[in-house]
Amino acid sequence: MEPSKLHLLHNATEQTIERLDVTDEKTHDSTLFNTGSWLEDRLVLFDRAYFKYRRFALIDENDGYFVSRLKESANPVVTEELREWRGRAIPLEGEKIHNVVDDLHREYIDVEVEAEFDRRPYGGTQSRDTKRFRVVGVRKEDADDYHLYITNLPREEFLPSDLGTIYRCRWEVELLFRELKTQYELDEFDTTKKHVVEILLYAALLSLLVSRELLDLVTEQADDEIVFPPERWAATFRSHAQLILHELGEYLGYSPPPLLDRLIDDAQKIHQQRPVLQETLATATQPRCES
């Protein structure tokens, strides 16, 4: 079986998986992100692999919101500064953002930019369009440059410092995949059979969903000051999985067979025609009778 890729849309607020796709390794991540009415009033956090002005425009036109890192190759023109700076501040209007960012020493950057992009072909023709977005620069800690973000979140409600905090929620995605790899061994399967890989994959994802639902229940029952780190909880859930299944079986009225019967059923020979080593050895060493 060829190597596969798992694509997930993770809800960082609810700690749930919204959508998933399994493809071959050559499929680009961004091709599986479909825009539409489901984006209304939702905030999507992208890494630069999903960067595309047309995608950002469609999110905005569907009344959704986005935050993405600004690609190095993207160099939109500044149309307006969203805050006035006193003194001999470098004017940014009319400049391309990457052309001037290295010369800036202000605490943060907050500007409106105009981006040009191709619309999806229609009727055999493809039109060119422009859209205005907001670019925010947050100075890196102990560094003399900026993290640059592009977004459509309004400045009236989200300050530049808020953008950096919001974008750090993407780390939840990294933690999710690390949990899938370390606790559910999703990074490598010891099989080349496609249907077996799919079964193991969905078993891991279902286990993850059950784990998260149970975590919500435990959190509700625990004292308010108790914190459950996701990876610590995942390890706890896995180590107690058999006990959880036993409790669940009793709750649902399922009575497993007695332990002794289970041991006998599981340990006996499955293939009656296939002798075990001891039987073969006993037959070979029996005294031969002379006729």
- The tokens describing 12, both together, are 């960082």
146: Cβ contacts below 8 Å, ≥ 6 apart: 101, 104, 108, 109, 137, 138, 139, 140
- The tokens describing 25, both together, are 């390794």
Report the C-alpha gap between 208 and 179 in whole angstroms: 9
pLDDT score recorded for residue 278: 64
pLDDT score recorded for residue 291: 46
Does residue 155 contact residue 80 with C-beta atoms inside 8 Å? Answer: no
Q: Could you say which residues of the chain have pLDDT below 50?
A: 291
- The tokens describing 35, both together, are 């825009």
pLDDT score recorded for residue 36: 92
Report the C-alpha gap between 197 and 284 in whole angstroms: 43
Specify the long-range contacts of residues 80-85, CB closer than 8 Å, at least 24 apart.
80/111, 80/112, 81/110, 81/111, 81/112, 82/110, 82/111, 82/112, 82/134, 82/155, 83/110
Does residue 152 contact residue 57 with C-beta atoms inside 8 Å? Answer: no
Beta-bridge mates of residue 51: none
61: Cβ contacts below 8 Å, ≥ 6 apart: none
pTM beyond cutoff 0.85? no
CB count in 10 Å sphere of residue 185: 12
Q: What sign for the dihedral angle of Cα 175, 176, 178, 182?
A: positive
pLDDT score recorded for residue 76: 95
75: Cβ contacts below 8 Å, ≥ 6 apart: 96, 97, 98, 99
Does residue 113 contact residue 79 with C-beta atoms inside 8 Å? Answer: yes
